[in-house]
Structure formats: C-alpha cells, structure tokens
Structure 1
Amino acid sequence: MHYPLTVMDFLDRATTVYPDRVAVIDEPDQPADSWGEITYAELGRRARSQAATLDELGVPVGGRVAIVSHNSARLLASFYGVSGWGRVLVPVNFRLAVAEIRYIIEHSGAEVMLVDPDLRHLVDEIDCPHVFVLGEDDDKIWGSSAEPRPWVGDEAATATINYTSGTTARPKGVQLTHRNLWLNATVFGWQASVSDRDVYLHTLPMFHANGWGHPFTATGMGATHVVIRQIDGTEILRRIERHGVTYLCAAPAVVASALDAAKTWEGDIPGRDRVRIIVAGAPPPTRTIERVRDELGWEFIQIYGLTETSPLLTMSRMRAEWDDLEPHQQAVNLGRAGAPAIGVRMRIDDSGEVLAQSNHNLASYWANPEATAEAQAGNWFHTGDGGTIEDGYVTIADRKKDVIITGGENVSSIEVEDALMSHPSVKEVAVIGIPDEKWGELITALVVLDPDEDTVDQAGLIAHCREHLAGYKCPKRIDFRDELARTATGKLQKFKLREEFWKGHDRQVN
C-alpha cells in the first residue's frame, strides 16, 4: 500500500502524541501581540482555522499564499495552515526592497499576502487580491471556527515556493514538494539527533529554505520551538539559558555574534555540553570552529546544501574515529562540507562542479523551464559550486556561480552590478565577495568611474544601491579602479580580481 508523505504528518503526530506540550514560545516583543506560549493542540487548531479561512476566501488547492514576516509563531503556523491543506506557501525575505517583493508576489501569482506589522506599507504598495497584516488581522486569518475542506494528500504537489537570488538579476522560485520537505526534515532530524527532549531556537530565518526544514523536524518530534525576532548574541545566550535550548541553526554571522557576546557574559556560558549548533551558509574558518567548541562548549555541526535541495546534502559531525585526534585536527575535519546525507549521492564533474542527486532536490523553478533544465541536466542537480570529494567527504573549494554568501544570504553579484551601473557616474563595475570574519564574505564593488562624471564617492554609490536593493545586498566596500581585468572578448576575469583579496586562503569561499 502507498500513502502520500505530506507536511501535515509532522503536526498530526505532535497533536496526537504531545497535545498538551508547549509547542511554541513566541517572541515576546512582536510588534503585534505575541502569541506567548501555545500548546501543540492549540497550534493544530489555529492551522485548521487558517485553512478554513482560505476555503472561505476561495483560494483553491495549489493556490499561492505569500507571507512576508520576521520569525514569529504566526509564520510557523502558516507552514501548516497553508501547505497542510494543499495550498502553496511562499515565504518571502522581509529584508528585500519593495520592488523585489512586488516581483515575487506577481511572479508567484499569490492570491493572498500576509505581512508583518513592521511592513504595513506593503499593503499600499503591492497589489494582491487579499492582503492581511499579521496581528492586526488575526481575527480574519485565524478566526474561523469551521472545519477546513479535506485535502487528498499528494506528495508530488508543491508545498512551498522559495525565491532565491541565483546568478541572474531576477530571483527564481524554487518549487519544493511535500515529498522533498518530508524527506529533508526526517533525514536532517535523524542525523542531527533531534528528539522529544529538544528545545529548538529559531535563530535561522524561517523564510530561508523553510528554516532548513526545522519547522517540520522539531514539530514532528514534539520539540518546543523558541522564536527570536531580532538576532543579538547576548539575547541568544539569554534565551538558551531561560528556555533550556538544546539546538539551533545558524549562518556564520550568528555564530560570530554568539562568540562576541560570550566575551562579556557573566557566569557559565548557557548550554555548555548541551547545545549543538548547526552551521551553513559558508564554510567557517577552523579557528571559529575551535572557538565554538572551546569558548561556548557547544557541539559544532556543519551542513552543506542549497534552497534547491531543501537544503540538506551533506553533514559534517564528530565521529568516533576522530575522538583521539588533537582538537585542532578535529576542527579541520569539521570544516569540510561533510559526507552525503542518507539518500544523497554526490559527485564532481569534469569541470570541478559539485553535483547532487537526492529526493530533497527541487521539482522545478516556478515558470522557468529553461533554468530548470539547466540545473537538472543529466538527472543531476548542478550546485554551481566547485569542490572535491575525498574519503567520502565533500569540500567546497570555490564558487562557480557568481553568488556571494554574506551573513548566510545569497546575493547575486550581477544584480548588484546592475544597480551600480544605473548610476550615471559608473562606467564599469565588478562585484565580488572578499573574506570577512563577521559576514563570511563582504560584498565589494570594484568601480571604474566615467571620467566626465567622477564626482561620486563610496557613500553616494552605496546610497544609490539602497534605492534599488535590499540593504544586505548593497556593497559594504567600494574600491575605485582605473580598469578591470578582462578577456580578449571583453568578459570580466573575476578570478583575477579576487586574487589580491584571497591570498593566503586555500579556497575562495570564507
């Protein structure tokens, strides 16, 4: 017999086995009223109410519901209230510029848009048939007492569309199916040892690859979710101490903030010998791994993947064979991207690109068959990253796509270049990532000015970018050059431009 795998399996188990357990401890400082602490039974009730509301609005199975929100219990509930009854959730990066959010709403064909109270201005700036402000319109979103219409589950149906920058100026919508999300969540949870004794801190944005799947993983095991809205190192330590947090997922910038906060923390570091931190976004320096293990006393786990892979492809975690190694060598080993997760196959093609086969891989890019065919050529997903495989472990050596990973977010260099080139004083520009201890990679623009219009300075160009791009996409450093290295056919030679900044590094990611 065959039964479909759907995301509701995770909430159904939690409401059946752990109905009276605290499911979510919401951020207390939400701009709207916080949900406080709610049980799994109550989370299930609110998911059903949200689904019934979508019934009443006439949103069909397969209809898209976009949500633009910071981390919140309302966003967590929407993974189930929307996708659990056959609609498609479109979690949108709240840090994007209005024009970028508008493009995603229009491109996805969303019929409903839910917005964070701090983003209320989007109501007037973006057209969508149904728009609600989280908190202010809760009675309209979660107020229905009707039972939602049953959905005959289909594991091949799209559950979420997650927009990612990629290598082109326009973001691509990654279609992830219920099967993709289900298998990612279960494999990830198994290999990260998630159990019903865990307390999970949402330091990772839930919009980012669906929080790497942990809104599903933690729920299915009955773990308690602790929501944090603004990332601050001291507050992370405080929440870990207050709520008994046992694991969290983090980009390198979050790791840096926790390490910085530990320097001035009074008393024992919270979670020592209890917390495990799962890191991805860019391979952290060996010294950072050593500091996490020594100064914080937390277990360090690294994963590698992309939004297109749900995201789990590989995991690097301590193993028995390394117990007798010196701590420095253990950290070196943990600095690799990791060994393939169960059910994942990896190989390196003749050009050095990392390829993957997995049941977590995307179904397709939304309304973009050309990009889909390119990414899935030969029945392998093409990551765009260069690397090696040795003793079963993948190491990422460079990035074939012109994507900069800063603070765990993907930024298209081409998109930033387009914004800079729209300034009348800019004649040529190349945008690259350079190593940075806090951000992993610092967005850096190498600019050649037009000799007739050369009055602009760094501050002026960055301000110009902010008119077109989200703040995190704007360059934090601008170097003015007389010329840029190009091939005989006029193509930029970015590898030459990167050389001066990456001397002493054995790989061109940080």
Structure 2
Amino acid sequence: MENIYDIHLDKNEANYEPLSPLSFIKRTAMVYPDRPSVIHGDKTFTWKETYERSVRLASALTKAGIKKGDTVAVMGNNTPETYEAHFGVPMCGAVLNTLNIRLDAEAIAFILQHGEAKIVFTDREFSDTTKRAIARLERKPLIIDIDDPYAIGGELIGMEDYESFIAKGDADFEWEGPADEWDAISLNYTSGTTGNPKGVVYHHRGAYLNAIGNALDWNMKQHPVYLWTLPMFHCNGWCFPWTLAAKAGTNICLRRVNAKNIYEAIADHKVTNFCGAPIVLSFVINATEEEKKPFDHKCDIMTAAAPPPASVLKAIQDEGFDVTHAYGLTETYGPAVFCAWKEEWNELPIERQAYQKSRQGVRYTLEEGLMIADSETTIEKPWDGESMGEVCFRGNIVMKGYLKNPTATDEAFKGGWFHSGDLGVKHPDGYIQLKDRSKDIIISGGENISSIEVEDTLYRHPDVAAVAVVAKPDEKWGETPAAFIELNPGAGNVTEEDLIKHCRDNLAHFKCPRTIIFQELPKTSTGKIQKFVLRDALKKEAGLL
C-alpha cells in the first residue's frame, strides 16, 4: 500500500532548497546592509559592500573561465580578501582551497598540484613561497596578488591585483547556490606530521550546519564582534566566516597575532568572541601589564587546546574572559564537540570547575553521533570513564572524504563511523574526555599511560608553558614517559627533580616521567607539537634509529 504522505507531496522549488552558507550573506546584506561587516586597520566595510565585493569576485572568476568544481586557492592572511573568498569562490560553483601560509614551497606545490588549482590569490607577504611553489608545477595557475597595505615586504608576482580583478566583475551577477547541497564548497589539507597531507573535502550542507552549530552551541548573541586570531586557512576558520554572516556580526581582522594587538582590539572594538589555538591562549594568559589594555565587558574564548589549570582558569576569568573548551578535526569542519557548561558547576570550587572544563564534552547539537568505540569492531565502550577506545563521529558535519584517496576514505569511514585516531573515555554523564592519540599511548611494563594525563599534570605547574610527553625506550619496562618542557618567561630555577616530584604528588608513580628535557618544542605550521620528532630523537639516543 502506498504511503499517504508520499502522494503528491514531492520536493519542489517552493518547499526545498539545498542548504548552503551562501544564503547567510545574501540575507544579512538585505536586512543589515549598513552594519559593519569587516574592519581591517583603518578600513571598514558594510555588509552591503562585502556582499557586493563577493558577488563581483564570483563574476570575475566566471569571466576568467572558472567553472563548477574548479579549485581556487588563496594564500592569504586574515584580511578582507580571504573573508570574501569564502563567499565569492563558491558563488560561482568553484571550490575554495585556503592554503596554510606557514608551509614551505614544497608543501604548497604539492597541495596546488593535488587540488588542481586554476587560480591562486596570493598575499604579497607570502609571494616568495608562492613563486617557488608555482615554479615546481608543470601546469601553472593564474596568479592574482593581494596587495594588502599592512603586509610586510614581498613583491607583486601576479597578472594583476585583487582590486583590479574584482573590478571586472559585475555587481548584479546572478549567482546560484549549489544544485546539490552535497556539492563541494571547500578543500582543506590536514597538517600531517609525516608524509603528504590529505585533502579533506567539505560540502555546502556541512558548512551550513557547522556554521549554525558554532552560534547555537557557543550561545553567540546577534551582532557579535569577532576577532580573527584563528587563521581563516585552518578548517575555513572553523566555519566562523559563515557563522559571522549568519549572525550579522563584525569581523575584526588581525594580521599580527600577539598579546598587545589582541588586548587593543578587544578594548577598542568591544570584541565579544575569538577562537584560539594553544599559542593564542598563551598570549592572553602571559601578557605583561604593558601589553594589556583594560576593557569593561565579557569576552568569550573558544579554545581547542588543552584546558588551562585551575589557577590559570581563575586568573583568566578574573581578566574578563570566559573559556569554552572544544574539540574537533579538519575532517569534522573544525569543532564538533564542546564542553557544554551546566549552571550548577558554577557552585563548584575552581579546581573542580577546571576538571569539568578539561573534558572535551558532548557532540555539537547539529552533529548526530559521537561515541568511544573499539577501533576494530566499532562496538561502543561502556560509559564508565575508564574504558578507553577511539573517538568516532557520525553526522552531517563529517567530511565528504579525502580527495583522490579512496583507500584512506574507506579506512576513515570503517563501520559507518568516522574514526578520528584519538583515544578517550566517556563518563557516565555522557561527556567524553580525550586520553591520547592512538600512536601516542605509552606502554610501560604492560600498563597503558596516557601522555595527555601526564601533560595535564605538568601544565598545572606554574612555571610550565608548554609540554610534550612521549615514550622513551627502556630495556626493563619497554617504554617510560619522557617530558619535554618549555618554561614560562621569568620562571624560577625549576629543576628536573622539581617537576618529577610535582608529578609524583599528583599521579600514580608508574605514570610519572623519569626524564625531563628542557627545550623549545618542535611544532607544525599550525602550532601542533610534533611528537614524532621527539620520539625519534629518543630512539636515536637509544641506538634504535
């Protein structure tokens, strides 16, 4: 028997529209045309202007021969041009590839070749890297310069600059949204620590939903003032370019991210929100009195870093900041898990609050599934806070897959879930807590030691600025924890013995590092600590490499 709800109740143009974040800017430009959209130095754009410039960009790209499914790359800083590309590029059906400006020419060349970029917009400050990358390619893309007045050095290497390029576009260009919300909107490359990075493909539906998820789960008010401390090239700025369009907010561009500039922007522009990796949070926490500028409003920070210890959490709250801890991957459009705060936790001692905040938390409202499971069987682990398994995701804010890499895509989606490679536990209240990357677990005398647990303990020492704990080969135990430490500026005469004692006072003794090494930590271009470099150094020392 035919279902009565299927009879003459079909999708049509009146009742169905593919989801796309492009709809946000069109609406906001109509409803709030004169509100400030982007502020960059002494230049302020309105939403009407940003929309028209994005449309002109789409038109100019079309005139330059860009078609649906073509890749357009941007080697840009957090400037209006990079922001406009998040709308103008997909408006003409193309796919946006924001390049990591910290990569070397060889890595950029690989990405441009693998993604088959037809046009590259390059900020003049990064022109040397771009030029050397292009020289490695057999098929050369068209180069357009971003001649930002706040860039330092660099030359113009393109056929023309961004302003003259979009001037050729039509302001009344009739762009269309995607015919299918599954169409690709952007291409982001993982910051792999070994081998070539993988190209992660986002679709319009996922970008739309994660942009809304950011606003919904972070409780962003209408017309937020957002400071760009997070690079727009990183997971499309965690989808916040589209979030800010949906909320009719104001984007404050910040080309030089340091403590002084952060505090000045917060005070001068009344910044309400910004996101930060570990280094950004460190700028805020360790700012000198000379770098600070007082402000009289609350500013919300979303961080995907290790949460600060209790003493730092209290200090940063006293400064007027509220920290939300989030977690995600390139493959999940940035943050897809957050520590949803409960009012009753406000009554807890600050140390207990810090513990609650240290948990990564629960899935975004618009993500459908999050579990801790056996990596091989994909069977969920008990909610006991002890049974360790792999963090797995399912839902609309999971990538389409890896570009031109079906093997890696199939492996990532084994069992109908996205396998993150991160290990964690789920507590009885449903909140997950990361314990380690699968490759970072230390197995000492048959006991599993979470490097994250040891790192969290060391971070609670007031003199520790950054730490990485890795396995050190040991003839008796197989492996033992070794801690590489960066100290805070002005730290006292802290010794190896001091830090080992600190760990022994707070951890089971078998988990404590037996070796402390003071040095600068090697990091990827996105600020992630390269533990493999440290592991290899210890293996070489032991004669195993």
Aligned to 2:447: none
SS of 2:16's equivalent in the other structure is: coil
TM-score (norm 2): 0.73
User: Which of 388, 399, 424 is the matching residue for 2:437?
Assistant: 399
Report the Cα distance in structure 2 between the residues aligned to 1:471 and 1:252, rounded to whole angstroms: 10
SS of 1:249's equivalent in the other structure is: strand
User: Which of 90, 95, 100 is the matching residue for 2:97?
Assistant: 90
User: Which of 323, 338, 354 is the matching residue for 1:315?
Assistant: 338
C-alpha offsets along residues 465-508 of structure 1, whole Å, 9 cap, x if unaligned? Answer: 99xx969689799796585679xxx8x9xxxxxxxxxxxxxxxx
Q: Report the residue type matching 1:211 in the other structure.
A: G
SS of 1:121's equivalent in the other structure is: helix
Aligned to 2:364: 341
Aligned to 2:153: none
Q: Offset at 1:198?
A: 1.4
SS of 1:248's equivalent in the other structure is: strand
Q: Report the residue type matching 2:421 in the other structure.
A: G
C-alpha offsets along residues 375-424 of structure 1, whole Å, 9 cap, x if unaligned? Answer: 11111111111001111111011111469999xxxxxx9xxxxxxxxxxx
User: Which of 123, 146, 151 is the matching residue for 1:134?
Assistant: 146
C-alpha offsets along residues 409-443 of structure 1, whole Å, 9 cap, x if unaligned? Answer: xxxx9xxxxxxxxxxxxxxxxxx98465779xxxx
User: Which of 22, 34, 38 is the matching residue for 1:24?
Assistant: 38
C-alpha offsets along residues 203-251 of structure 1, whole Å, 9 cap, x if unaligned? Answer: 1000001111111111111111100011111110010000010110011
The structure number with the bigger radius of gyration is 2
Change (3 A) 1:330 1:9: same
Report the Cα distance in structure 2 between the residues aligned to 1:141 and 1:437, rounded to whole angstroms: 48
Aligned to 1:363: 400
Q: Report the residue type matching 2:391 in the other structure.
A: V
SS of 2:239's equivalent in the other structure is: helix
- Mapped pair 1:193 → 2:219: yes
Indicate conservation of the 8 Å contact 1:234/1:258, yes or no. Answer: no
- Mapped pair 1:14 → 2:22: no
Aligned to 2:508: none
Aligned to 1:299: 322
SS of 1:142's equivalent in the other structure is: helix
Indicate conservation of the 8 Å contact 1:20/1:39, yes or no. Answer: yes
Report the Cα distance in structure 2 between the residues aligned to 1:232 and 1:402, rounded to whole angstroms: 30
TM-score (norm 1): 0.77
Q: Report the residue type matching 1:93 in the other structure.
A: N
Aligned to 1:270: 295
Of all paired residues, the percent bearing the same amino acid is: 32
Q: Offset at 1:152?
A: 4.7
Question: Which 4+ runs in 1 deviate beyond 4 A?
Answer: 401-406, 432-439, 469-486
Q: Map residues 470-485 of structure 1 onto 2, 5 A cutoff.
A: 483=540
Q: Offset at 1:260?
A: 1.7
Name whichever of 473-482 and 253-262 sits farther off.
Answer: 473-482
C-alpha offsets along residues 280-330 of structure 1, whole Å, 9 cap, x if unaligned? Answer: 144444443333213x22111111101110123211143212122112211
User: Which of 132, 139, 148 is the matching residue for 2:173?
Assistant: 148
C-alpha offsets along residues 327-362 of structure 1, whole Å, 9 cap, x if unaligned? Answer: 221121111111221133211112511111121000
Q: Offset at 1:124?
A: 3.4
User: Which of 202, 205, 208 is the matching residue for 1:182?
Assistant: 208
Q: Report the residue type matching 1:256 in the other structure.
A: S
Indicate conservation of the 8 Å contact 2:73/2:99, yes or no. Answer: yes
C-alpha offsets along residues 153-202 of structure 1, whole Å, 9 cap, x if unaligned? Answer: 22110000000124641000100001111000101111112232310001
SS of 1:132's equivalent in the other structure is: strand
Report the Cα distance in structure 2 between the residues aligned to 1:158 and 1:433, rounded to whole angstroms: 42
Q: Map residues 115-264 of structure 1 onto 2, 5 A cutoff.
A: 115-122=122-129, 124-125=131-132, 126=134, 127=137, 128-135=140-147, 137-146=161-170, 147-148=172-173, 150-153=175-178, 154-166=180-192, 168-261=194-287, 263-264=289-290
Gaps of 5+ in 2: 1-14, 148-155, 376-388, 442-450, 456-467, 469-481, 490-519
Aligned to 1:2: 16
Report the Cα distance in structure 1 between the residues aligned to 2:392 and 2:528, rounded to whole angstroms: 27
Q: Report the residue type matching 2:424 in the other structure.
A: G
CA RMSD of aligned residues (A): 3.2
SS of 1:120's equivalent in the other structure is: helix
Report the Cα distance in structure 2 between the residues aligned to 1:481 and 1:397, rounded to whole angstroms: 22
Report the Cα distance in structure 1 between the residues aligned to 2:41 and 2:166, rounded to whole angstroms: 18
SS of 1:82's equivalent in the other structure is: helix
Aligned to 2:48: 41
Structure with more relative contact order (C-alpha pairs < 8 Å, separation 6 or more): 1
Q: Report the residue type matching 2:38 in the other structure.
A: V
Aligned to 2:352: 329
Report how many aligned residue pairs link the two structures: 430
Report the Cα distance in structure 2 between the residues aligned to 1:79 and 1:401, rounded to whole angstroms: 35
Q: Report the residue type matching 1:133 in the other structure.
A: D
User: Which of 396, 421, 443 is the matching residue for 1:384?
Assistant: 421
Aligned to 2:120: 113
Aligned to 1:58: 65
Indicate conservation of the 8 Å contact 1:174/1:307, yes or no. Answer: yes
Report the Cα distance in structure 1 between the residues aligned to 2:526 and 2:220, rounded to whole angstroms: 35
